[in-house]
Amino acid sequence: MELGVHAAPLDFSSTYPIPDLDEGTASLHALAHGAADAPQKIYSRLQQPTVSRFEGALAKLEGAEHAVAYASGMAALTAVLMTLRVRHPEDDRPHVLALRPIYGGSDHLLDHGLTGCQVEWVKPEDVARKIRPETRLIIAETPANPTLKWLDIEQLVADANGAPVLIDSTFATPVLQTPLAHGATFVLHSATKFLGGHGDVLGGIVASNDDEWAAAMRHVRVVTGACLHPMAAWLCLRSLPTLPLRVRRATETATALVDFLNRQPAVARVDYPRADHPLLGSQMLGRGSLISFELTGGYEAAVALMKAVKLCTPAVSLGSTDTLIQHPAGLTHHVVPEDQRIEAGITAGMIRLSVGLESEEDLARDLAQALAIAATSAPAENREPAAQDAATPSSEMA
Ligand SMILES: Cc1ncc(COP(=O)(O)O)c(C=O)c1O
């Protein structure tokens, strides 16, 4: 309102006029070292007004002092891992604990040593035992992708014994969960999902109350150039006012569809948080709009289901206005080593559904016809998804 406009302004400038060189140099110095703003704008890789506006809005929603936005969720996670080297130059390979399951791309990034961190995979019950004085970060996703298991953030923070905890809260959004209020140090979102909300944006954002760390995050963004485009920031900003409505409506529809899926003979099991989950009402304010389910016909039934849906879109990603259906073992988590995938509960017959804003009746009708086709197409011998190619480029992950 103070700008005298109703919709947020959108500035596409990549560079800005610098009439006063002394002021320009001082501003560049500040921004290049992680300042959030400076009197003179310099270059949009250093600071961008529309992106800053989105960061301010998300920080408020997460109850954080700072938020730093990136070109994608993966760029945001990479930046967090890179800041460990900035904050601890004495560490050759910063020690990180990570909990599975986690989004397949994040799993791949952590598992392949690309960021120079020494990553140890742990189960939630082993965190307290595996934590070391030199552990620099603990990474977990709750709700977890794709099993939808919930982790007790306060318990994890207690077990971390002072080590920083990063929660990927993409599935929850700040509408359902605010991890910093439960003691987490960082909260990460793939803004590509619910924050963008319409399947037309790629972005990532991390929020925290740690001033030094926020400066390091901006510093890493300046030098790596993993910036969020202003148009993407604007689309995210535009989508935030409808976020609570979208999340609540999709959650209501998902809850109704769970009952429907539980009655289908082609469905062996539905994974959806229970109505009496101990964290419901305290950590999570709703059960969310993602559902995973196991098909009795295994992989062949999954292939048939993905082909047979007409209203649901067979596609990766989630949190859009429309319903997306996908096969984690073959797509989002394909890059995870098979034994780890299976141990994490990601089976060949598992389907993940991201419920959108269509009517419950239309979705149930579509799923019923597709499940009927899937039920008839499953042979007795189940195939597995195609074997992994070690050289799979990470751009194939979503
Ligand atoms: C939970 C979660 N975190 C992070 C990411 C990565 O985000 P992006 O695709 O925006 O890089 C994804 C992508 O699917 C995700 O599901």
Both 325 and 312 in one domain: the answer is yes
Please count the CA atoms within 13 angstroms of the CA of 257 that sit on its side-chain side: 33
| CA angle centred on 122, ends 177 and 335, rounded to 5° | 85
CB of 100 within 8 A of CB of 127? Answer: no
* Identity of the residue numbered 18: I
Domain boundary among 207, 240, 273: 240
Is residue 380 a part of any domain in this protein? no
Range(s) of the domain holding residue 321: 242-375
Query: Where is the domain boundary, 224, 240, 256?
Result: 240
Same-domain pairing of 130 and 160: yes
Ligand 1, closest atom to CA 76?
Answer: 11
Burial zone of 350 (CB within 10 Å; 0-12 exposed, 13-18 middle, 19+ buried) = buried
Is 300 inside a domain boundary? yes
Co-location of 232 and 252 in the same domain: no
Q: In angstroms, what is the span from residue 396 Cα to ligand 1's centroid? A: 13
**Within this chain, do residues 29 and 139 fall inside the same structural domain, yes or no?**
yes
Ligand 1 atom closest to the CA of 202, numbered from 1: 10
Residue 10 is assigned to a structural domain of this protein: no
Structure confidence at residue 167 (pLDDT)? 98
Residue 310 resides in a domain: yes
Q: Whose CA is nearest to atom 2 of ligand 1?
A: 103
- Torsional class of 146: left (φ above 0), alpha (ψ -120 to 50), beta (otherwise): alpha
Yes or no: say if 283 and 341 are a contact pair by the CB < 8 Å rule: no
Q: Which ligand 1 atom sits nearest the alpha carbon of residue 203?
A: 10
170, 200, 316, 395: which to mutate for ligand 1, most atoms within 8 A of CB? 170
CATH number for the domain including 214? 3.40.640.10
For ligand 1, atom 10, the nearest C-alpha belongs to: 73
Ligand 1 atom closest to the Cα of residue 398 is 14
Residues 218 and 262 in one domain: no
Structurally, the chain folds into a number of domains equal to: 2
CB atoms within 10 A of CB 134: 12
* Closest residue by CA, ligand 1 atom 6: 73
The torsion angles phi and psi of 286, rounded to 5 degrees, stand at: -170, 170
User: What are the residues facing 141 on neighbouring strands?
Assistant: 168
Is position 281 within any domain? yes
Is 292 in the same domain as 251? yes
Ligand 1 centroid distance, CA of 21 (Å): 41
Q: Tell whether 192 and 252 lie within a shared domain.
A: no
pLDDT at residue 387, as a whole number: 62
- Give, using CA atoms, the residue closest to atom 7 of ligand 1: 73
The C-alpha torsion from 100 through 354 and 231 to 72, rounded to 10°, is 10
How many other C-beta atoms are found inside a 10 Å radius of the C-beta of residue 199?
Answer: 17
Integer Cα distance of 331 and 46 in angstroms:
35
Query: How far does Cα 249 stand from its chain's mean position?
Result: 20
Question: What end-to-end distance do the CA atoms of the chain give, in Å?
Answer: 37
Cα–Cα nearest to 189, from 64, 351, 285:
64
Res 187: pLDDT? 98
Q: Is the peptide bond before 174 cis (omega within 30 degrees of 0)?
A: no
Pocket test for ligand 1, best of 81, 189, 190 (most atoms within 8 A of CB): 190
Q: Looking at the domain assignment, is residue 296 inside a domain?
A: yes
Mean pLDDT per 10-residue run, the chain (398 residues)? 86 97 98 97 97 98 98 98 93 96 97 93 97 98 97 98 98 98 98 98 98 97 97 98 98 98 97 97 98 96 97 98 98 94 95 98 98 83 58 37
- According to DSSP, the residues that pair with 138 across neighbouring strands are 97, 165
With a 6 Å cutoff on the Cβ, whether 170 touches ligand 1 is: yes
What is the 100 CA–ligand 1 centroid distance (Å)? 15
Atom of ligand 1 nearest to the CA of 332: 14
Q: Ligand 1: distance of its center to the CA of 369 in Å?
A: 30
Q: Where are the beta strands (DSSP E) in the chain?
A: 66-70, 95-99, 118-122, 135-141, 165-168, 186-190, 204-208, 267-271, 290-295, 313-314, 324-326, 350-354
Chosen domain end from 213, 240, 267: 240
221 and 314, same domain (yes or no): no
* Among 171, 169, 174, residue whose Cα is nearest residue 187: 169
Same domain, 361 and 236: no
Q: Are residues 264 and 228 in the same domain?
A: no
Predicted local distance difference test score (pLDDT) of residue 390: 41
Backbone angles phi, psi at 206, to 5 degrees: -125, 135
Atom number, ligand 1, closest to the C-alpha of residue 102: 1
Residue in 107, 110, 145, 334 to alter for ligand 1 test, most ligand atoms within 8 A of Cβ:
145
293/95 Cα distance (integer angstroms): 35
Q: Return d(Cα 37, Cα 31) in angstroms, integer.
A: 7
What is the whole-number distance in angstroms between the Cα of residue 381 and the centre of ligand 1?
Answer: 33
pLDDT for 282 equals: 98
CATH number of the structural domain spanning residue 303: 3.90.1150.10
Asked if residue 365 is part of any domain, the answer here is: yes
Residue 383 lies in a domain: no
Q: Are residues 136 and 54 in the same domain?
A: yes
* Residues 1-35 as b or e (16 or more Cβ within 10 Å = b): eeeeeeeeeeeeeeebebeeeeebeebbebbbebe
- Same domain, residue pair 302 and 352: yes
For the Cβ of 204 lying below 6 angstroms from any atom of ligand 1, the answer is: yes
Task: Please list, in sequence order, all residues whose beta carbon lies within 8 angstroms of the beta carbon of residue 239, skipping any fewer than 6 positions away.
Answer: 195, 196, 197, 198, 201
Q: Is 169 in the pocket of ligand 1 (CB under 6 A)?
A: no
37 CB neighbour count, 10 Å cutoff: 11
The pLDDT assigned to 377 comes to 81
- What is residue 15's DSSP assignment? B
> What is the whole-number distance in angstroms between the Cα of residue 324 and the centre of ligand 1?
15
